[in-house]
Structures are given as structure tokens and as C-alpha cells.
Amino acid sequence: MTPDAILEVRELSKRFGGVHALEGVECIVPEGQVFAVIGPNGAGKTTFFNCLTGVTRPTTGSIRFQNRPLAGLPSHRIAEAGIARTWQTIRLFEHMTVLENVLVGCHTRGSTGFPGAILRLPSQRREERRLREAAMNHLQRLEIAHLAHRPVSSLPFLQQRRVELARALAAEPKLLLLDEPAAGLNTRETGQLGELILSIREQGLTVLLVEHDMSLVMEISDQVLVLDHGVPIAEGPPRQIQENEKVIAIYLGSEAL
Amino acid sequence: MSDSAGYSNLMQFVLSGLAFGSIYAMVAIGFNIIYNATGIINLAQGEFVMLGGMFLVWGQDELGLPVWAAVAVSVLIVAAIGVAFERIAIRPLRNPSVLVLIIITIAGSFLFRGAVLLVWGDRLFSCDSFLSGDSIWILGAIITRQRILIFGTLLVVGGILAVFFGYTILGKAMRATAFNRTAARLVGINTRTMVMFAFGLSAAIGALAGAVVVPVTGIAWEHGVLLGLKGFAAAVLGGLGNNAAAVVAGLLLGVIESVAAGTISTDYKDAIALSALLIVLFIRPAGLFGRAELTRLGQL
Amino acid sequence: MGLKNLTGLVLLSLAVIVLPYALPDFYFKLIQIGIYALICIGLSLLLGYAGQISLGHAAFYALGAYTSAILTVRYGWSPWLAVWVGIGLTIILALAIGIPSLRLQGHYLAMATLAFGEIAFVVATAWVALTGGPSGFGHIPKWNVFGYRLVPPRADQAIFYFVWAAVILGLLVALNLINSRVGRALRAIHDGEQAADVLGIPTATYKIKIFVLSAAYASVAGSIYAHVSGYVNPGPFSVEHSILFITMVIVGGMRTVWGGVAGACLMGLLPELLADLEHWRFAIYGLILLIIMMFIPQGILLGVRDLIAWSLEKLPFRKADSPGETE
């Protein structure tokens, strides 16, 4: 494994019945980079994320995160190892407030179990204060602290997006997976999102990004992987991808680049 | 001598077990049909069986119908109840969770049970055997004609369903809906109608099972729970959704229960059958004949 | 746990203290209801918070009752000790049922617990040597609380206090649990199991633990029941009662433990309101369950709150947006 790689994927395949959702995907994600995965609809990008987070079990292949094998582990173990994600369609806990959602994101930062909670031990109360403070910090960073006590179901779509991002950041992951974070944003909002992602990277987090907005991908990514029908067809820095003829043919050709 | 007595006893248990097993198999098929169409386990399934028995007795005693007509009337009424239940209580729910569906079908089962209790009281009802004539000796055991009829009913129901799902447009459409609802809708199948039809068909088969069992065990308002549970046991034993396996599993369950009752204890008969359910659920949740992967569960 | 819940507990405590003096002809009807409330608090943790269902809680209720009855009558144990043995046995049994069925999804826990409840009822009826069979057995000693034996003529009042003290303690435990990392994780599981898992919550473990805890509530309620009534038989432990408990929780509102208490009171008093209910019981339970589930899925308690909030909104003196608080 390359010394500075945080994630290394080898020969990753996923089949649903006879359908090959992913076939022989390989990538090395260097620590502290923004790494984008692009491809037309049905290219297997979300399946790729699902394999990385234990939502689906890969059919074959290996996934190493910080030199530890991940493939086949349950999701919560992968989360403990330091991977957090957002979802293409928002999956907030709809009966909870904004703050509570972000506090669930802090789950791996705490340790209180059933006995500690029932007895309300002093250690539990200290931990609760600490987590609340951390959660509020994340809300402030995303400029939604004023919504902390609102039920998430009452928020408009864009703010729900932010809550979900805050929830993922609250887990203080080393690797953050963003599944189409710019979907539904206008140009100005996309610009802000790009700045936010770069500032997340500044903090030392590695970001894995699935995105359709090519200008965003080309602007902030250090490295781009292109999938088509589950098969990797190109990998390289944004400029190189933009000039890759295979990529242009299957994907970028249709975009006005 | 004692050996042959032991054999004929065992044969007796097996044959009477087959009759009850046929009932469980039909209840299991009822579970499967609704499960395949909707992913719902209908906890009111046992109540359809009980209602089938009740309406049979009602048709004979109140309307003075001959037995075959009473069976037909009972099956039609209960099928209508099944359809109405789907229309009133299930269809209006928007994106119901599994929890909500469980509670709704439980509510339905209490409602049906309660209504029967109100209308007919807590008496045990019974009726004469559908076929007159003496019991028959088979393989050293004696068996009543009604029990043979029950077994025959299962065979007929199974045969009709095999033809229905294999060769008719409606049956194929239902199978398509079960296999992939979105795809079925895309090719023009009205999946809502399929769901409604599934409830009607499932209720009808349950009612038929309930009707044919009345001469053997009688029927009372509270019989639905156990019939439903054992039918579910058969469905799980065979692997949820698989009708052919459910028939085998239902018969097997009936025989196990009957042999256990005859050799271990009648008091614990029900507990033994239900323990079989728990054991299978825990060891092979995909059923005795199913694959290890619970593919359909992902859709719940 | 928040000011609201603390106020609620204080108000409930005051009501409990005052009730025997305020309504001397009525309060003793709330003894059995208190026992139901205890079961319902546990059940609402399972149903409303973790989103799992048990149709066999009457079996855990029975286990507590019979364990206490048998140990105190046959072996002369102290009720204080017997209740713990009941809890211990319940934990073992709940693990045996919960671990395999909670690995599966949705309907399986419902059917497994339903079958388990039916088996438990059959065993309680058929194992005459242990349980006394259908007629049960009596002469169960009354609970001895701090040397104050709960006997007539003041027995009813003492029993009432004792039962409702247990309810308040049960509420306290549940509220502490809910307003913690663990409680949030449970609610997250209810709203989205996969999303919760991906955030590092071991969903299977949490579901098993909450199932065991809610079974323990039923077991304690069973122990209390045995000593309060002085007599046990299989009657109150049928599957029908498991479903009655579910109905209580849903009527009160499953997403708050207060709903469990409210539901137990409402449904428990229903027979008082409708005389000669015996034959109507099932139909009414079914109807109530259906109507609540279809039209007021949040339950009566939160339903009333929402109604008040709605009418306040409609009225001219609309309040400023205040930060809401959930329990």
C-alpha cells in the first residue's frame, strides 16, 4: 500500500443476480485529497459507496482503509473505523430535531451504554455536555445553529442537506463520502458547497465525492475516477479526465464542456 | 402383535395428521399470496379461516342451504370481507412501515373475532360431515370421509392455483407483481388491483379451509389465532412465498403435531407445533426448502 | 431529562399521593391499571422508540408472576428476592427469543413472539404440577414493604402507593434512557435502520437490549401482580392480553413513554365506562386500534397536544416561534 493512501480498493465487484453493478473497480485514494467518482446514471457510483460503507456486501474484491480490511464488515464497524457518508436521497431521522440528528452523528464519539444512561451517572452527564457542545459547533459551522431545536421534517430541502452533512461531520470521520451533495443547488449555492468541501479538506479529512455537477468536480477534485456500467474506464487529475477521449465519448460528450 | 398395533397407531396419527396438515397448508398458501403481492404478513389470516367456518354453519342453519351451496356462499362472503379489509384499512395508508401494517392487521383480526363473538356468541358450532357413509380403512388405519375430503380439497386448491398462476393472464400478472412491482406497473399491470385480488383470493382459500374443517373440529370465534399461527408456521417452514413448499410443509407440520399429540401429550400439541415454528425461524429462516439468502426480506 | 418531564413526574407523584383522599371510592381501580402502565412503559420503549413489536409480552408478565408466586409460596422466599429471580429468568428467555428473531426483519419478531406467547400460555395451563394448571394457585403472601405489611383494612391504599411508586420509578428509568445517547440511537433505528447503522450504531445489539429491558418491565409487573392479587392463574396472561398491552401503548401514543401510562389508564378504565363489556371487548379493541392507527397514529396524548398547538396557531394571538422540545 502506498504510504499516504487512506483507502485502497482492489478488484471490487458487485453483482445483483445477473447484473454487474460493479466490475473490477480499483482505486487508491491519497490521504487529504478530494477524490471524485463520476459516470453516467447507472454507472454504479452509489453501489460503490454502499460497498464502502457496508450497506451492501461486495461480491468479490478487497477494500483497505488505513491498511485495515473493510470488505464484509457491518456498517457500524466501518463507521467506527472512521468513514461517514451522506445519502443521495436525504435520510434524516424525521421524528427528531436538528440537534438530535447531529447528536446521533456523534454516536461513535461517546460511550454511554444502557446502565450509564438509566442511572444518569456523572460521567454520562459530562459526556452528554461534551457531545452537545460538539454538535452545536458543527451546526454553527454549517450556519444552521439557529435551527437546532426545530424538527428536521419542518425544514426545506436545502437545510435538510446541511443537517445531513453536519451529522456526517459530527462523527469526526477521517474519510467523508458525499453522494451528490450539489443536487438541487443553484450556482451560488454550489460555489459555497465547493468552498465548504475544500475547507473540510483543509482540516485533514479525505473526501470521496460522487457528483454530477462537472464544473464543481473539475474545480475542487484532486483526482477523478470515471465509471461506466460498473467498469472503471479512466482515472487521473481533472484536466487529464477532461481531455480523455473515452470519457468524452461516453459521458462528457453530452455535457457542454 | 404389539408391533403391528404400534404400526397401525402410528399410521392412524399420520393419516389424521394429513387432514389437519391440509388445513395448515391452505392457510399457509393464503399467507403466501398476500405476502407475494404486498410483502405483508396478514395477521388476520386465521380470522378468514374462522369466518369461513362460521359462515358455512350460518348458511346451513339460517339460510337452510345444502352444504355445497353453503360452502360457496361462505367462500364468497369471506372473499368480499378480505377485499373490503384491503380497501378500507390497508390501501389508504401512505407508505406504511412494517410496524404499522402489523398493527393494522392485528386490529383487523380483533375486529373480525369481536364481531363474530357479538353476532354468534362464544359457542362452539358444528355441522355434519359433507359426505355420508362410513369411515374407510386405509393402510391399516381408519379414517373418516370428511378427512379424506379435506385432503382432497387441498389437492384441488393446489391444482387450480398451479394452473391459475402458470397459465392464466391474471395469475401471471399476479406473479409479475410479486416478482417486481415497479416493472409490473411499467408493462401495464394494475398492481393495486392485483393487491386487492390477492386479499380476496387469500381470504377465499382461508374460508374454504375453515369450511371443510368444521365437521371435524367444530368452529368457534377464538379458533382463528391458532389456525393462523400454525398456517404461518407452515408458510415459514416451506419458505415464505413458496406455495408448493408450503403444501409439503403444512402436511409435515400436521403429521408432526398429530404424532406428537398421540405419543407425547395432547395438552402440549399446540406448543409442539409452535415450537417447530420457532426452531425453523431461528435455524433456517428461509425455510426447509429455501435458499439461505432472504432475498425478499430486503424489500420489506 | 428536561423541565417538561421533571414537571410531569412531580405532577404525577402529587396526583398519586392525593388520589386516595380525593376519590376514596375510585382510586383502587387504578391498582391494576398501574400494573398495566408498568408493562406499557417497557413496551413503548420497544415499540415507539426502537420500532420493534412484541406480541408475547404477556408471557414475560406471566413469568414474573409465576416465579414470584412459586418461590414465595412453595419455598418461602422473600418477594424482594423472588422478583429478581423473575427478572433473571425473563432476561434469559428474552435473549433466547430476541437474538434469533431480531436478526430477521419486521414480521418475524411479531410472529416469533406471538408463537412464544401462545406456547407460554399452553405451558402455564398444562403444566399442572408447577403452575396449578387452569385453576392456578393462591395464598401468595402480600408484599412486605419496609416492615409495613400490606394487609387490610388500609391495604388498598398501601398497595396503590406501592404500585404507583413502581410506575414512577419505571418512568424515571425510561426517561433517563430516552434522553441519552442510547435513547437517541434507538429512535434513530426506528426512523432509519440503515442510516443509523452507517453512523456507527450496532442496530442488532440495541434492538436485543431494548427487547430484554422491555421484557424485564413486564416481569416486574408480573411479580407485583402476583403479590397484589394473592392468586395467579393463566387467564390474565393470554395472547389477547399481549395485544391489549399493544393497544394501550398505541392509544396513548407510542412515541412517548407517557403515552404508555395514558393508554393504560384510558383503556383500563374503558370497562368501567361501558358496563357488561365482555362480549364487546374484542370488537372495541380492534376498532380503537384501527381508528387510532389510521387517523391518530401519534396517539391520544400527542394528538391532544397537536390539537392544542393547531388551535393556538389558528387563534389571533399567535405565539412567537418558541424552540420546541421533545421528550
**Does the fold of domain A83-172 match that of domain A1-81+175-181+210-257?**
yes
Q: Answer yes or no: are the C-beta atoms of A201 and A13 closer than 8 Å.
A: no
- Between positions 126 and 145 of B, the ones with CB within 8 A of C are none
Residue B64 DSSP SS3: coil
Q: What confidence category does residue C154 fall into, taking pLDDT thresholds of 50, 70 and 90?
A: low
Of residues A93, A110, A119, nearest to C181 (C-beta): A110
> Does residue B13 have a pLDDT over 60?
yes
Q: Where are the domains of chain C?
A: 3-314
C neighbours by CB contacts (3+ pairs under 8 Å): A, B
A158 shares contact with chain C (CB less than 8 Å): no
Dihedral angle, C-alpha B13, B14, B17, B18, nearest 10 °: -150
Low-confidence ranges of chain A (pLDDT < 70): 1-3, 251-257
Distance of CA B271 to the CA centre of its chain: 19
C134 shares contact with chain B (CB less than 8 Å): no
Dist. CA B300–CA B297, nearest whole Å: 5
A neighbours by CB contacts (3+ pairs under 8 Å): C
| Range of weakest confidence among A51-60, C105-114, C196-205, C235-244 | C105-114
> Does residue B240 have a pLDDT over 50?
yes
C289 shares contact with chain B (CB less than 8 Å): yes
Of residues C173, C177, C185, nearest to A104 (C-beta): C185
> Does residue B297 have a pLDDT over 50?
no
Q: pLDDT at position B287, please?
A: 67
The average pLDDT across C229-258 equals: 87
Give buried/exposed letters for A31-53 (b at 16+ CB in 10 A, else e): bbbbbbbbbeeebbbbbbbbbbb
- N residues, chain B: 300
Q: How many CB atoms lie within 10 A of CB B238?
A: 28
Asked whether the beta carbons of residue C118 and residue B270 sit closer than 8 angstroms, the reply is: yes
Task: Give the Å distances, CA to CA, from B95 to A96, A220, B99, C133.
Answer: 19, 39, 11, 45
A108 shares contact with chain C (CB less than 8 Å): yes
Dihedral angle, C-alpha A107, A109, A114, A120, nearest 10 °: -120
Task: Give the architecture (CATH level 2) of C3-314.
Answer: Orthogonal Bundle (1.10)
Q: What confidence category does residue B24 fall into, taking pLDDT thresholds of 50, 70 and 90?
A: very high
Size of interface A-C (CB pairs under 8 A): 111
Domains of chain B: 2-299 (1.10.3470)
B270 shares contact with chain C (CB less than 8 Å): yes
Residue C166 DSSP SS3: helix
Dist. CA C115–CA A132, nearest whole Å: 43
Average pLDDT over chain C reads 83
Mutate one of C199, C205, C207 to test the A interface: name it (highest A CB count within 10 A).
Answer: C199
Q: pLDDT at position B132, please?
A: 78
> Does residue B143 have a pLDDT over 60?
yes
Asked whether the beta carbons of residue A100 and residue C325 sit closer than 8 angstroms, the reply is: no
Nearest CA in chain C to B271: C119
Q: Answer yes or no: are the C-beta atoms of C91 and C215 closer than 8 Å.
A: yes
CB burial class (10 A; 0-12, 13-18, 19+) of residue C91?
middle
Q: pLDDT at position C193, please?
A: 86
Dist. CA B9–CA C98, nearest whole Å: 39
Mutate one of A104, A127, A175, A178 to test the C interface: name it (highest C CB count within 10 A).
Answer: A104
Q: Which residues of B touch C283 (CB under 8 A)?
A: 110-111, 113-115, 117-118
Task: Give the architecture (CATH level 2) of A1-81+175-181+210-257.
Answer: 3-Layer(aba) Sandwich (3.40)
Q: pLDDT at position C220, please?
A: 95
- Between positions 193 and 222 of A, the ones with CB within 8 A of C are none
Q: Are strands A223-228 and A231-236 parallel, antiparallel or unpaired?
A: antiparallel
Q: What confidence category does residue B296 fall into, taking pLDDT thresholds of 50, 70 and 90?
A: very low
B115 shares contact with chain C (CB less than 8 Å): yes
Q: pLDDT at position B298, please?
A: 31
Of residues B41, B278, B285, nearest to C115 (C-beta): B278
Asked whether the beta carbons of residue C289 and residue B226 sit closer than 8 angstroms, the reply is: no
CATH superfamily of A83-172: P-loop containing nucleotide triphosphate hydrolases (3.40.50.300)
Q: Which residues of A touch C196 (CB under 8 A)?
A: 93, 104
Q: pLDDT at position C7, please?
A: 85
Asked whether the beta carbons of residue A100 and residue C326 sit closer than 8 angstroms, the reply is: yes
| Range of weakest confidence among A193-207, A226-240, B145-159, B262-276 | B262-276
Asked whether the beta carbons of residue C191 and residue A94 sit closer than 8 angstroms, the reply is: yes
Asked whether the beta carbons of residue C289 and residue B115 sit closer than 8 angstroms, the reply is: no
The average pLDDT across B170-182 equals: 80
Of residues C116, C282, C290, nearest to B278 (C-beta): C116
Average pLDDT over chain B reads 83
- Cell 412464544 belongs to residue: C116
Size of interface B-C (CB pairs under 8 A): 134
Q: pLDDT at position A56, please?
A: 86
B89 shares contact with chain C (CB less than 8 Å): yes
Q: Which residues of A touch C201 (CB under 8 A)?
A: 76, 104, 107
Q: Are strands A5-16 and A60-65 parallel, antiparallel or unpaired?
A: antiparallel
The average pLDDT across C34-53 equals: 91
> C8 vs C63, which has greater pLDDT?
C63
A191 shares contact with chain C (CB less than 8 Å): no
C325 shares contact with chain A (CB less than 8 Å): yes
A54 shares contact with chain C (CB less than 8 Å): yes
Asked whether the beta carbons of residue B285 and residue C108 sit closer than 8 angstroms, the reply is: yes
A160 shares contact with chain C (CB less than 8 Å): no
Of residues C47, C53, C282, nearest to B114 (C-beta): C282
Q: What confidence category does residue B181 fall into, taking pLDDT thresholds of 50, 70 and 90?
A: confident
Dist. CA C270–CA B114, nearest whole Å: 16
Asked whether the beta carbons of residue B278 and residue C294 sit closer than 8 angstroms, the reply is: no
C255 shares contact with chain A (CB less than 8 Å): yes
The secondary structure of C41-100 as a DSSP string is HHHHIIIIIS----S-HHHHHHHHHHHHHHHHHHH---HHHHHHHHHHHHHHHHHHHHHH
Asked whether the beta carbons of residue C119 and residue B274 sit closer than 8 angstroms, the reply is: yes
C292-303 pLDDT tens trace: 888 888 888 888
Q: Answer yes or no: are the C-beta atoms of A192 and A134 closer than 8 Å.
A: no
C277 shares contact with chain B (CB less than 8 Å): no
Q: Which residues does C275 contact at the CB level (< 8 Å), separation at least 6? A: none
Mutate one of C290, C295, C298 to test the B interface: name it (highest B CB count within 10 A).
Answer: C290
Min distance C294 CA to chain A CA atoms (Å): 18
Q: What confidence category does residue B47 fall into, taking pLDDT thresholds of 50, 70 and 90?
A: very high
Q: Which residues of A touch C326 (CB under 8 A)?
A: 96-97, 100, 151
Task: Give the Å distances, CA to CA, from C181 to A112, B298, C213, C285.
Answer: 7, 28, 16, 35
Q: Answer yes or no: are the C-beta atoms of C246 and C48 closer than 8 Å.
A: no
Q: Where are the domains of chain A?
A: 1-81+175-181+210-257, 83-172
> A240 vs B6, which has greater pLDDT?
A240
Asked whether the beta carbons of residue A84 and residue C173 sit closer than 8 angstroms, the reply is: no
For chain C, what percent of residues have pLDDT higher than 90? 24
Asked whether the beta carbons of residue A114 and residue C213 sit closer than 8 angstroms, the reply is: yes
Q: pLDDT at position C311, please?
A: 80
Q: Which residues of C touch A112 (CB under 8 A)?
A: 180-182
Q: What angle do CA C286, C254, C9 make, to 5 degrees?
A: 125
Beta bridge mates, A37? A210, A225
